[in-house]
Copies of this chain bind each other. A is one copy, B any other.
Amino acid sequence: MTVNKIISKISVTLILALISFTSELKSQELKSPDGKLILNLELDSKGTPKYALSYKGKSVIESSDLGLQIKNQPSMIEGFEIEETEKNQVDESWNPVWGKQKTVRNHYRELKIKLVQPEHQNRYIYLRFRLFNDGLAFRYEFPKQNTLNYFVIEEEITEFSLAGDHKIFWIPGDYDTHEYSYTTSKISEIPEKMDGATVNINAQTPIENLAIQTPSMMKTDDGLYINIHEAALTNYAAMDLNVDPDNFVFSAHLAPDAVGNKGYMQTNTTTPWRTIIVSDDATDVLASNMIINLNEPTEYEHTSWITPMKYIGVWWEYFVEGKSTWAYGTETNVKLDQDFNKLTPSGRHGANTAHIKEYVDFAAKHGMDAVLVEGWNIGWEDWIGNWKENVFDFTTPYPDFDVKEVNDYAHSKGVKIMMHHETSASATNYERRLDRAFEFMKEYGYNSVKTGYVGQIIPRGEHHKGQWMVNHFIHVAKRAADYEIMINSHEAVRPTGLHRTYPNWLAQESARGTEFEAMGGLAPEHASILAFTRLIGGPMDYTPGIFQTDLSYYGDNQQRVNTTLVKQLSYYVTMYSPLQMAADLPDNYERFPDAFQFIKDVAVDWDNSWYLEAEPGDYVTIARKAKNKYEWFVGSMTDENEREATIDFSFLPEGENFVATIYADAKDASWDQNPQNYTIETVLISSETILDKFIARGGGLAISIKKATENDFNELDIIK
């Protein structure tokens, strides 16, 4: 038993377990521990369960249907009776392996309802609701019973009937990709904006009816913040949301499999949790631990091999310079096991031994933990677009990449090489080679891998967000754990807090990340929407740290990263991840060593976090304390508008003085003008300090804080 588990167990407080047996009860009420949220559950005249949710007396979810359509069996939608209800309250704390805070409190009231269908041999399910102070979660549970063993889901019909035409930050519903830009509109405006929102993405399957994705972030006219997502997505398809734009009703839309089924179920199972985070303060949404609390504790016996990290990589140069490539050969039609011993070198292969060593030297010099190397292995000549199964073998380097020499060199300097497994979405090929791929990694001393799933899924007809692929991603994480390998998955289904259960699954992409800055750019507001959407499910490998934002610096490239340099710094705090890339080229960091110092200093694991200011789509200001270190870091980012951030340092210990190094946009900076103009000042602060600081259009702010020394007092200004 790990320390983690022991702490969990001793802190559990089971206050109340109230079990009622009745078939007459038609409605139930549950209040959150602080009483602000109230859930109502009732059966309508057809025996369909309906739930409603209010916050401080305001309706959040109006009466909404619950249930599932089952294939070739009676539906689980109507004809229910409530046979039994049970209420519990839990207040416990637990320590994640890594995270935004050292200790997480899990505090909720629970209502469990047994729903029986007398007309179908008393077949029954449970509805389990958990009401936290910051939101509602519920799921369907299917116990083992004589009259129900295996069943196939045609559709989950769970509804979310919203109380008004809210402002919503949304991307189009899609079975395969999350990499859309966000649109901000009223719910009623989604239809007219859907076409423009559905831009081309490699391997996309937009949902045919009107639908959007989760996490779905909304704001009501009267100032409520509502976030709908799911937690603990295992052995089930990911949920998108059908949109009824006239009545403001969303309903579950699961990703289908190759034959159109949406879930293969065996009783003694549950759906994922459907989550609704609610508050009248946007920072509560960022601070919410509801989703991670709803996931299962890890069963890994040892976790000391799991280490948050900073890394650089042979990656951004492929996008911006146009000089180097993933591929080694000039051929455009190659076969694994046939053609790779006779490739014609292009002379532009990025992942060559000498070049990697330059990155390793840089990493060693600046304390980066690892160097990602993309394009090291055979297969890149025609890896994309052909729905081809055997593109990569994950164990054969190109001839100019000496896997042993590179790793030995890196290890001699205290640096790890991060493996790269692009699967080209051929999950079958990856699975059959997985043990061998991981054995290869162990042989050469790799301890982490970035996985990629660009393209149409194989098994053909499956989707990135379907049940089969959901299970695949978990399978890879679990099998990686067998080899003590950490995973950073790209193009995987968006996270739902599973990193609690599989803490070696450090981070994911699963959204439009920095790479799109080199392919059309991201809106300046993008990151401040992501913080309220994609990041609600778990850490993102956003790959920040681009200092050279104007890509014409590289010659013909007309692209531009739509942030100031300082905003890139702020991401290391605002865009939480235990895995942070310094994504720019080493040369660019050498040009701005004073700004790069923040990236070198910033922590990647935390004792605690404070959410100071936030408004979805506009700005986010967060402070965090480094894990097991007397250091704090603050990040603030804004959208296309300049603003003055207000940093209240009351999160610092009282009665002490600290040195704050403040990285700020220069007055003349903005994402499109002088983005590299910044100021760095070092000042003394205390827990009583309140700092108002200019942030440029598309800009940011980054502050590192440590305890002041005697010397600091003599040299630095004090800010109150």
A389 at interface, CB cutoff 8 A: yes
User: Which residues on the B side are within 8 Å of A144 (C-beta)?
Assistant: 333
B428 touches A386 (CB 8 A): no
B333 touches A149 (CB 8 A): yes
Complex: A55 Cα to B714 Cα, angstroms: 108
Nearest Cβ on chain B to A296's Cβ, whole angstroms: 14
Which of A149, A268, A333, A435 has its CB near the most chain B CB atoms (within 10 A)?
A333
User: Which residues on the B side are within 8 Å of A258 (C-beta)?
Assistant: 258-259, 459-462
Nearest Cβ on chain B to A72's Cβ, whole angstroms: 12
Question: C-beta contact mask, A331-346 vs B, less than 8 Å → 1, else 0?
Answer: 0110100100000000
Complex: A428 Cα to B460 Cα, angstroms: 13
A432 at interface, CB cutoff 8 A: yes
Which of A257, A264, A461 has its CB near the most chain B CB atoms (within 10 A)?
A461
User: Which residues on the B side are within 8 Å of A461 (C-beta)?
Assistant: 257-259, 459-461
Contacting residues of chain A (367-412) with chain B, CB-CB under 8 angstroms: 382, 386-389
Contacting residues of chain A (438-476) with chain B, CB-CB under 8 angstroms: 459-462, 468, 471, 475
A261 at interface, CB cutoff 8 A: yes
User: Which residues on the B side are within 8 Å of A257 (C-beta)?
Assistant: 460-461
Complex: A262 Cα to B144 Cα, angstroms: 40
A434 at interface, CB cutoff 8 A: yes
A436 at interface, CB cutoff 8 A: yes
Complex: A257 Cα to B436 Cα, angstroms: 28
Complex: A611 Cα to B528 Cα, angstroms: 80
Taking A266-B388, A459-B459, A459-B460 as known contacts, 13 extra A-B pairs with beta carbons closer than 8 A to each other, sorted by chain A number, are A149-B386, A150-B388, A258-B258, A258-B462, A259-B460, A259-B461, A268-B333, A268-B335, A268-B338, A389-B468, A389-B471, A431-B432, A432-B432
18 A-B residue pairings within 8 Å (CB atoms): A258-B259, A258-B460, A258-B461, A259-B460, A259-B461, A261-B460, A267-B333, A389-B468, A428-B428, A428-B468, A431-B431, A432-B432, A432-B475, A435-B436, A459-B460, A459-B461, A459-B462, A461-B461
Complex: A387 Cα to B428 Cα, angstroms: 18
Question: C-beta contact mask, A419-442 vs B, less than 8 Å → 1, else 0?
Answer: 000000000100110111000000
Complex: A266 Cα to B379 Cα, angstroms: 14
How many residues on chain A are close to B (CB under 8 Å)?
33
With contacts A333-B268, A461-B258 taken as known, whether A149 is within 8 angstroms of B382 at the C-beta atoms is yes
Interface residues of A (CB under 8 A from B): 144, 149-150, 257-259, 261, 264, 266-268, 332-333, 335, 338, 382, 386-389, 428, 431-432, 434-436, 459-462, 468, 471, 475
User: Which residues on the B side are within 8 Å of A335 (C-beta)?
Assistant: 266, 268
User: Which residues on the B side are within 8 Å of A386 (C-beta)?
Assistant: 149-150, 264, 266
Q: Tell me the nearest residue of chain B to A150, going by C-beta.
A: B386
User: Which residues on the B side are within 8 Å of A435 (C-beta)?
Assistant: 435-436
Q: Tell me the nearest residue of chain B to A386, going by C-beta.
A: B150
Complex: A434 Cα to B461 Cα, angstroms: 24
Q: Tell me the nearest residue of chain B to A479, going by C-beta.
A: B432
User: Which residues on the B side are within 8 Å of A436 (C-beta)?
Assistant: 435
Nearest Cβ on chain B to A103's Cβ, whole angstroms: 30
Nearest Cβ on chain B to A221's Cβ, whole angstroms: 45
User: Which residues on the B side are within 8 Å of A267 (C-beta)?
Assistant: 333
Q: Tell me the nearest residue of chain B to A471, going by C-beta.
A: B389
Complex: A144 Cα to B335 Cα, angstroms: 11
Complex: A386 Cα to B73 Cα, angstroms: 14
Nearest Cβ on chain B to A453's Cβ, whole angstroms: 16
User: Which residues on the B side are within 8 Å of A471 (C-beta)?
Assistant: 389
User: Which residues on the B side are within 8 Å of A150 (C-beta)?
Assistant: 333, 386, 388
A332 touches B149 (CB 8 A): yes
Complex: A471 Cα to B435 Cα, angstroms: 19
Complex: A697 Cα to B464 Cα, angstroms: 59
Closest 10 CB pairs of A and B: A459-B459, A258-B461, A258-B258, A150-B386, A431-B432, A435-B435, A149-B333, A259-B461, A461-B461, A258-B460
User: Which residues on the B side are within 8 Å of A338 (C-beta)?
Assistant: 268
User: Which residues on the B side are within 8 Å of A268 (C-beta)?
Assistant: 333, 335, 338
Complex: A27 Cα to B264 Cα, angstroms: 56
Nearest Cβ on chain B to A248's Cβ, whole angstroms: 36
Q: Looking at the complex, which one of B149, B264, B389 makes contact with A387 (CB distance below 8 Å)?
A: B264
Complex: A436 Cα to B261 Cα, angstroms: 30
Complex: A460 Cα to B257 Cα, angstroms: 8
Nearest Cβ on chain B to A386's Cβ, whole angstroms: 4
With contacts A266-B386, A388-B266, A436-B435 taken as known, whether A459 is within 8 angstroms of B259 at the C-beta atoms is no
